[in-house]
A and B are shown apart, each in its own frame.
Chain A
């Protein structure tokens, strides 16, 4: 409980306590989502956690103003995405940091892992170049196995729009990444 609460009437204190409890539940439910969204943009664990924390802090400050609490996840999704993209745009050196922190143990299939990692890097570069609307749909669809209906709820758009955007995104990605499997540069 925050110290300022002591200055307010009991009704407000109890109200705050209720909101605090509710927010605690939201943290439990949605911290993974916030992290994943931030990670999808930043692809750096530390940065993603930091952005997710900021998103929760902002959400906490305004939680009492949120009329429809059922929309919390959608609200948090947008907030986290915006913060992450801002951070990503402000820090173009994230790729270098990612390389520095990617110190995973080597496996027996080193060559396969290297190829896979290289492909993954190219895929993410292509995803990063997608328009924000398409990019968000691709990422949310991949996070926690969200289907198109859940993505539509999170973004507050019709499910048909999600499907359309997803198809457009995959089409653009396929065109830009075809060379990965054919060995021929596209365009």
Chain B
């Protein structure tokens, strides 16, 4: 049939698409195409009737109140997101920070970093001087130079020892270590050690010299590196 070329356009027209001029003109004069159009139109009408049934379907009169009752029983899972989310995040962050800080080694805490030389210098040297004063009983021993503590003027390394570190010339490291041990133990030989450090005479056994133990914090006595610049304290 010659009008087959219009069939699709006519069917589309029945579905609501615009008919072009040629198809419209053909439809006006062709009874077969008019039948096609009417068929499609009746199908659309049947669909619309079914859909009207949907549009006319209404809920029962108590539906809204039942919805309210149903909703009232529903557990509310939300709380205003404006505060609880940030609060939860902040609490978690605080918890994590607390755990991290509590597990951090003491020497890595910036505010708690142990002083390197000054306390030792103060306590150690002063103690040595006091001990020297007592030991010589008038014959003063110059302990200041012997236990002079020097600090490196280089940036502090990342690793910080737990005990304060004292840097001494390499050849005297052992002697200074023994000196501190003796001062801590209150042993009389500290005097002879002090004397020997500077070539002096050791006191005799009958001098009645007594040494009391001194409280000295534990220290680490290290040999001074030869390359490091030395700053006299």
Contacts and interface: CB of A to CB of B under 8 A. Distances in A.
A8 B54 CA distance: 44
Interface in A29-68: 31-32, 35-36, 39-40, 45, 48-49, 52-54, 56-58, 60-65
Given A12-B79, A177-B46, A142 B71 contact: no
Contacts of B15: 167, 170-171, 174
B44 to A, nearest CB: 7
Interface of chain B, main secondary structure: helix
- Chain A at the B interface: mostly helix, strand, loop or mixed? helix
Interface string B42-82: 11101101111111011110011011101111111111110
Contacts of A39: 54, 57
B70 A170 contact: no
Given A2-B76, A120-B49, A181 B66 contact: no
Contacts of B157: none
A33 B56 CA distance: 12
Interface in B186-210: none
B16 A170 contact: yes
Interface residues of A, number: 54
Interface stretch (A20-28, A84-92, A153-161): A20-28
Interface in A79-138: 116, 119-120, 123-124, 127, 138
A58 B16 CA distance: 38
A120 B14 CA distance: 20
Contact of A27 (B47, B68, B81): B68
A23 B68 CA distance: 10
Contact of B50 (A35, A48, A120, A170): A120
B63 A36 contact: no
Given A60-B71, A143-B55, A174-B11, A167 B46 contact: no
Given A36-B54, A142-B52, A173-B43, A56 B81 contact: no
A74 interface: no
Contact of B78 (A62, A119, A141, A181): A62
Contact of A124 (B40, B42, B50, B66): B50
A142 B64 CA distance: 22
B147 to A, nearest CB: 65
A63 B44 contact: no
Interface in B4-20: 11-12, 14-17
Given A53-B67, A64-B80, A35 B49 contact: no
Contacts of A56: 67, 70-71
Given A27-B64, A27-B67, A49-B66, A123 B47 contact: yes
Given A39-B54, A145-B55, A170-B15, A27 B78 contact: no
Contact of A64 (B39, B53, B71, B81): B81
A97 to B, nearest CB: 15
Contact of A15 (B40, B50, B70, B80): B80
27 contacts: A24-B68, A27-B64, A27-B68, A31-B67, A32-B59, A39-B57, A45-B57, A49-B66, A53-B70, A56-B67, A57-B74, A58-B74, A64-B80, A119-B49, A120-B49, A120-B50, A123-B47, A138-B51, A144-B55, A167-B16, A167-B17, A171-B11, A171-B15, A174-B15, A174-B44, A178-B43, A182-B39
- Listed from nearest, the 8 A-B pairs whose CB atoms lie closest are A142-B51, A123-B50, A64-B78, A57-B74, A35-B59, A181-B42, A53-B70, A120-B50
